[in-house]
Amino acid sequence: MRDPALVEALETRLVNAWPSLETQIADGWILRFAKGYSKRANAATPLRLGATLDDGLIEHIAAQYRAQRLRPVFRLTGLEAPDVAERLAQRGFAEFEPSYAMVAPISEELTIEPQVTGESAVTIDAKPSPQWLRQAATSYGGEKADHRTLGEIVGRIRQRTAFATLNLDERPAAWGLAVAERGFVGLYDIVVAPDLRGLGLGRQMVCALTTWGREQGATQAYLQVREANEPARALYRSLGFVDAYRYAHRVRD
């Protein structure tokens, strides 16, 4: 069962760790806009426990997204009132890409980097280099392949940040971002080059970033992963992460 206090703690840190380019507030909901780059930065999300929606507020929020040529998206985390999902379903908003927020205490196991084939090392910088932005965005692909918008988003982070690159045999092979705030370190957009997956590089990146987080005073790590991505969920469970809460986007064609 989700803990509303933990949901709120992680969700408020998410807003700071992955900023949108514009925000609005509407009756307990935060509306975030970022040119369509990533769903979490372009969705309406409940800000407080019991946030409600009526037909007028749904239409108002949808209109704000249409005005920016964005598809209206609601992101339901469990903080919203119990009838919100059904209200959205009645208006044609279907569930899309359910995901989990996962959390773990920063244990010794989370900070010991595993051995992988070949020579590998993780470098961490406080600011993103042009190379990090281009290479990470290219590996993300799809809606997140635009390195310019990625740069706009991460350039707005005001918390302590770690932009990590894992080099395997002197080749950039994996990328990740960590953001430390008030006892937590959030792990964002960890990605491995498509032709190098399955070598343990994702595990090494997670361990390197949580080690950095512990050095910043964090005692817990959190991340978000799609429900359908069972290989990643299995990796995180093996490192001590457990489900904190399930969330899903609601979209209408």
Parse the chain into domains and list their residue ranges.
Answer: 4-101, 107-218
What angle separates helix 147-154 from helix 130-140, to the nearest 10 degrees? 120
The edge-to-edge listing of strands for the beta sheet with 44-46 is 22-26, 29-33, 44-46, 73-76, 242-251, 94-105, 220-226, 184-192, 171-181, 160-168, 120-125
**Structure tokens belonging to residue 66:** 């249409």
Q: Cα separation of 174 and 151, whole Å?
A: 18
User: Which residues lie across from 124 on neighbouring strands?
Assistant: 164
Closest CA to 150 of 132, 166, 126, 167: 132
CATH of domain 107-218: 3.40.630.30
Q: How many CB atoms lie within 10 A of CB 251?
A: 19
pLDDT value at residue 118: 64
Residue 218 is classified by DSSP as: -
How much is the average pLDDT of 234-240?
93
What would the pLDDT profile of 73-110 be if each residue is shown by its tens digit?
Answer: 999 999 999 999 999 999 999 999 999 999 999 987 77
Q: Give pLDDT, residue 164.
A: 97
Find, among 210, 217, 211, 218, the residue nearest to 241 by Cα.
210
pTM: predicted TM-score of the whole model, two decimal places: 0.92
Report the C-alpha gap between 171 and 165 in whole angstroms. Answer: 10
Using one digit for the tens of pLDDT, what is the confidence trace for 129-143? 999 999 999 988 877
Does residue 222 surpass a pLDDT of 90?
Answer: yes
Position 1 pLDDT exceeds 60: no
* Cβ 122 vs Cβ 190: under 8 Å: no
